[in-house]
Amino acid sequence: MKHVIAWAQAFALSIGGLGLFFVAFIDASVLSLPEVNDILIVYMVMKSPSYLVYYAAMATAGSVGGSLIVYYLGRKGGETVLRRQFSREQVDRMQGRFARYGMAAVVVPAMLPPPVPLKLFVLGAGAAGMRVSTFAWAIGIGRGVRYLAEGVLAYYYGAAAFEYIKRHGVQVALWGSVIAVAVLIVYYWRRQRRRAAEV
């Protein structure tokens, strides 16, 4: 696995943003490359600060695309897989969270650093029947906030950013979660108003 990670890093660095997209896609779908995207974002922003938003966007897009593969696997038979690996109570509790919290049940795990098992939540979202558009937006918001925050830290703090993220990753993610929840509240509030106006 170390060789795969080293190859992925070298490949991404050789072609820039498209490499970030590819590595994020692979990480979110068929393989797990823990912290590789985070390292790449920090390093690339340090080298080319003006590309901060571009790099964050490419990594986010790759994560959304890769996660959709796992999501569709969940739609096809994820509940069976989940019930083999976990107890009925755990699976029912997870599905209840998706039904109750919707996007937030994916947004928050998408922001958190490893060892949070994001693929488990992605598989669960598919098994729970979350709408594709809702799921894609949730991954996009969660990963987008995470990668953008890392890029901003790299922009201002350089090489020290990654150490900061490793030590305070949960706090960074929690602040990001607060922002995301605020965005979601505004979104649902506007949607409710629009529906009320149509009645």
Structure tokens at 38: 């985070």
Contact 143, 60 (CB under 8 A): yes
Q: Which residue has the tokens 């072609």?
A: 15
Structure tokens at 142: 């969660």
- E strand or H helix that includes residue 165: helix 160-198
Mean predicted lDDT score pLDDT of the chain? 80
- Taking alpha carbons only, the member of 86, 57, 29, 11 closest to residue 150 is 57
Which amino acid does the sequence have at 81?
Answer: V
Q: How far apart are the C-alpha atoms of 30 and 73, rounded to whole Å?
A: 11
pTM for this entry? 0.77
Average pLDDT over residues 107-136: 83
Q: How far apart are the C-alpha atoms of 197 and 6, rounded to whole Å?
A: 55
Structure tokens at 173: 């993610």
Which of 100 and 4 is assigned the larger pLDDT? 100
Q: How far apart are the C-alpha atoms of 132 and 82, rounded to whole Å?
A: 20
Out of 54-63, 85-94, 133-142, the most confident range is 54-63
pLDDT digits (tens, 9 = 90+) for 46-84: 888 999 999 999 999 999 999 999 899 888 876 676 767
